[in-house]
Amino acid sequence: MNEAYKTAISRFLMIAVISSVVILAVKFMRFYSLKYADRVASNYLDNITGGYIALDEYYGFVSAVGNLGFSVQLSVDRYDGTYYDHYDITDIDSVAVLRNGLQYFILKDRDFVTVTLVKKGVTIRESRTMHGSGVLK
Partner 1 sequence: MNVVEAYASVVIAIFLLVVTPVWLLKEQTDYITSRNDQYETDYLAWKLETEHKISMSFFTKDFNVIPYSPGWNATDVEITDHMMKLNPKTTRYVHVIYGEKDRWIIIE
Q: What residues make contact with partner 1 under the rule CB under 8 A?
A: 6, 9-10, 13-14, 16-17, 20-21, 23-24, 27-28, 31, 34-35, 38, 77, 79, 110, 112, 114, 122-129, 137
What are the CA-CA distances from residue 30 to residues 25, 37, 52, 67, 123 (Å)?
A: 9, 10, 32, 13, 13
Cβ closest to partner 1, residue 57 vs residue 77? 77
3-state secondary structure of 107: coil
- How far is the C-alpha of 58 from the C-alpha of 44, rounded, in Å? 8
Residues 6+ apart with CB under 8 A from 117: 37, 38, 41, 65, 70, 71, 72, 123, 124, 125, 126
Nearer to partner 1, 34 or 106 (CB): 34
Nearer to partner 1, 82 or 100 (CB): 82
Q: What's the closest the beta carbon of residue 14 comes to partner 1, in angstroms?
A: 7
Interatomic CA distance for residues 84 and 63, integer angstroms = 30
Q: One-letter amino acid identity for 83?
A: Y
Instruction: Please report how close the Cβ of residue 24 comes to partner 1 at its closest, in angstroms.
Output: 6
**At its nearest, how many Å lie between partner 1 and the CB of residue 7?**
8
Q: In angstroms, give the least distance from the CB of 62 to partner 1.
A: 19
The residue (of 64 and 119) whose beta carbon lies closer to partner 1 is 119
The CB-of-33 to partner 1 minimum distance in angstroms stands at 11
